[in-house]
Amino acid sequence: MQKERLNSEILKGGITEPKGFLSAGIHCGIKKVKRDLALIVSTTPATAAGVFTLNKVQAAPVLICKEHLSKGKTFKAIVINSGNANACTGQRGYDDAVIMANETAKELNIIPEEVFVSSTGVIGEQLPIEKILIGIKKAVKHLGTGEFENAAKAIMTTDTFMKSVSATFLIDGKNVSIGGISKGSGMIHPNMATMLAFVTTDAAIEHDVFQILLKNVTDRTFNKIIVDGDTSTNDMVIALANGQSEIKIEQQKESYDIFEEQLYQILKKLAIDIVKDGEGATKLVEINVEGALNNIDADKAARTVALSPLVKTAIHGEDANWGRIIAAVGYSGIEFNPDKFEIYINGHQILNQNYEIALSIQDANQTLKPKEINLLLKLNMGTGKATCWTCDLSAEYVKINGSYRS
């Protein structure tokens, strides 16, 4: 069953909305035609925070970023190529990532440790480093505040739309902005499985505070999106804060909560856009679990339902098959009393306690017609709750992932 793909509106401004950030997105020849090299630059030194893949196989640029983040205090640039992940490439891959940082630093007249390096694309092939070096020179020439869409495009692999968002809000009477771009995961492609996001802000935030903020908000956004359970070797979220708004974000101040909420909205939008762009996705599914014994149980239940191929295919087929949902919660490993279980789809109760069917199959299936599905699972055992996002599983996903190179 072929269904219309999901899409997403693009919010203005992006990563150059915050003061003092420039970007570029150009074509250097890793891909045949499309943009494949992005550069993000702060005109003044910025603090940074980063969250990286937990995969034991870590691509060379991930290793470089972690080194720079642990050693450096301020940063000025992020250079990203698409089309080649520089993963599983051994010592040569590591050396090439170092060369990317060095060349970017040289062209910007800064030091290599002020540069983050990121790659996404095919695993196991060496970078075409000569092309990239020429590309870096070209990108530096293109740097500007109007180039944020090109940067968003240049980090895409098989994404079908660019992911770019920004927000401007008041703190203590001054404008503060956050911008972000991301690219999809969704095991979107053979060997092209990486989730990347880059965030800029003109707030001033000390590294330790920024790191906690980014980790917390990432846990509630990027770490709550579930396409197919595969985890990439290259995943990363990097954020830069250059302080040009003259507003400092500190813990235990009201401004902290305002900033955290705005950062949450930005990362949530970027994360949900990745789910919407999951390979073959036709429906965005928000799963809310309430009434678990604790939040950890709620999260486990939500993730298990989100990962179940049976639940995901049923949603694709607009089949309100509550037996699959209850069975998935049942094997999630949490404390669970199925007699107390309730299911709501888009506000309509499907299943009441004691397995009482609340809607006919026909009416229940109607609740799955919209493109955005809200699944509410009430366990009625405690106060634990969790939210995650996933997409449906279509035959299209399998076709794309099974026949890429054949």
Q: Which residues are known to be catalytic?
A: 194
Q: How far is the CB of 187 from its own copies (least distance, A)?
A: 5
Cβ-Cβ contacts under 8 Å for 219 (sequence gap 6 or more) = none
Nearer CB in complex with its own copies: 257/404: 404
Per rule CB under 8 A, is residue 221 in the interface with its own copies? Answer: no
Task: Tell which positions 110-129 bind its own copies, by CB under 8 A.
Answer: 122-124
Per rule CB under 8 A, is residue 379 in the interface with its own copies? Answer: no
Amino acid at 9: E
Per rule CB under 8 A, is residue 146 in the interface with its own copies? Answer: no
Nearer CB in complex with its own copies: 40/329: 329
Q: With beta carbons less than 8 A apart as the criterion, state whether 246 and 174 touch.
A: yes
C-alpha distances in Å from residue 352, one per residue of 285, 339, 343: 21, 9, 7
Report the distance separating Cα 163 and Cα 118, nearest Å. 17
**Which of 103, 228, 297, 342: binder of its own copies (CB under 8 A)?**
228
The shares of helix, strand and coil residues in the chain, as percent rounded to the nearest 5, are 35, 30, 35
Which of 147, 256, 253, 264 shows the shortest CA–CA distance to 217? 264
Q: How far is the CB of 68 from its own copies (least distance, A)?
A: 22
Cα–Cα–Cα angle for 47, 38, 53, nearest 5°? 60
Q: How far is the CB of 142 from its own copies (least distance, A)?
A: 31
Q: How far is the CB of 233 from its own copies (least distance, A)?
A: 5
Task: Tell which positions 316-375 bind its own copies, by CB under 8 A.
Answer: 316-319, 321-324, 326-331, 334, 336, 338-339, 354-355, 357, 361, 365
Task: Tell which positions 251-310 bind its own copies, by CB under 8 A.
Answer: 307-310
Report the distance separating Cα 259 and Cα 268, nearest Å. 14
Per rule CB under 8 A, is residue 2 in the interface with its own copies? Answer: no
Nearer CB in complex with its own copies: 170/395: 395
Q: DSSP letters of 385-400?
A: EEEEEEE---HHHHHH
Q: How far is the CB of 312 from its own copies (least distance, A)?
A: 9
Q: With beta carbons less than 8 A apart as the criterion, state whether 381 and 218 touch.
A: no
CB atoms within 10 A of CB 12: 13
Amino acid at 128: P
The footprint of its own copies (CB under 8 A) covers 1, 54-57, 87-90, 122-124, 187, 190-191, 193, 228-233, 307-310, 313-314, 316-319, 321-324, 326-331, 334, 336, 338-339, 354-355, 357, 361, 365, 392-399, 401-406
